[in-house]
Amino acid sequence: MTDRLTTFQRDGLTFDVADRGPLDGAVVVLLHGFPERATSWDAVVPALHDAGLRTLAPDQRGYSPGARPAGRRAYAVTELVADVDALVDAAGGAPVHLVGHDWGAIVAWSYAAQHPERVRTLATVSVGHPGAFLRSMAGPQVLKSWYVGAFQVPGLPERMAARRGGVMDRLLAATGMRPADLARFRREVVDDGALPGGVAWYRALPFTPPSWTSARVRVPTTFVWSDGDTACGRAQAERTAGWVDAPYRFRVLEGVSHWVPEHAPDELAQLLLDGVALEGAGGAGARA
């Protein structure tokens, strides 16, 4: 692959993608979460490029202006995973290093489980394996995830985000978002019309195949969790190891909020680079 990708297509939709770093480098696909876009990785990628890696950061379904289909079924995890597969094809089809934060982590877990032959290494941030997350809902996690239920109410998230400095902004600030993060949320998500599509990921949760939430991961994996995360608790983080049948590392960032790519980019970049080295770890003692 010698040309830069600015977009890729799937099923009549056009996705924007930021393609940076050495064109001949191993490909790292970076999946953003809610409510963010590909720019959430901006402070992380320079270190990856310096290490010779090429990064592809797409604006995912509902966020890219050309990929905002109607109906919540269009945002099922099966569709989100198929979008990533289309990006891997567009990048030449070779296996990639896959990274995801927040909702992007859920997509990354699912993609790695369904397409292990196309993933060299997996790195997920904040959100553990879907099976571990669901089991943790029997405890305090259910209170942390209250907003998932609120987002099912038609029009409610849009009303919460309607006013600058209103309910949504205050809730995001409480999770650790800084003024610059909130300004980007306003500009890239609310003002650009991406909020309904982002919320649709939550509304499509009932259409996730049960077998996908229990699918085990068999590729070298790094999971990064921060103890200042108000949305994703420790229980789901600690349970995740039980869902990975491969070299696995669990790393905790102390004093960092949920927004790891923005608030601890240097530490995260180093962990991602260390994770890339897991590809050659085989089965030898990497479960730390």
With respect to residue 120, please indicate whether it lies within any of the assigned structural domains: yes
Domain, as residue range, for 95 = 7-280
Q: Is 2 within the bounds of a domain?
A: no
- What does DSSP say about strands 7-10 and 13-20: parallel, antiparallel, or unpaired? antiparallel
- DSSP at 286: -
pTM for the whole thing?
A: 0.96
Dist. CA 134–CA 205, nearest whole Å: 12
11: left (phi over 0), alpha (psi -120 to 50) or beta: left
Q: Which residues contact 90 (CB under 8 A, 6 or more apart)?
A: 5, 8, 9
In a domain, 285, yes or no: no
Residue 167 placed within a domain? yes
- Domain membership of residue 88 (yes or no) is yes
pLDDT at 283: 39
pLDDT for position 285: 38
Query: Over the stretch 59-110, which tens digit does the pLDDT of each residue have?
Result: 999 999 999 999 999 999 999 999 999 999 999 999 999 999 999 999 999 9
- Tally the domains of the chain: 1
Who contacts 141 (Cβ-Cβ below 8 Å, separation ≥6)? Answer: 133, 232, 233, 235, 236
DSSP letters spanning 245-268: -S-EEEEEETT--S-HHHHSHHHH
Percent above pLDDT 70 for the chain: 96
Residues of the chain with pLDDT under 70: 1-2, 280-288
Q: Which ranges of the chain does DSSP label H, i.e. alpha helix?
A: 45-50, 77-90, 103-114, 130-136, 141-144, 146-150, 156-160, 167-174, 179-185, 195-203, 210-213, 234-239, 260-263, 265-276
Residue 262 lies in a domain: yes
Amino acid at 159: R
Task: Establish if 1 belongs to a structural domain.
Answer: no
Confirm whether 267 is domain-assigned: yes
Strand order in the sheet with 221-226: 7-10, 13-20, 54-58, 27-31, 96-101, 119-125, 221-226, 248-253
Q: What's the confidence (pLDDT) of residue 288?
A: 53
Other C-beta atoms lying within 10 Å of the C-beta of residue 189: 22
We report the CATH number of the domain holding residue 72 as 3.40.50.1820
Query: Mind listing the pLDDT tens digit for each residue in 1-13?
Result: 458 999 999 999 9
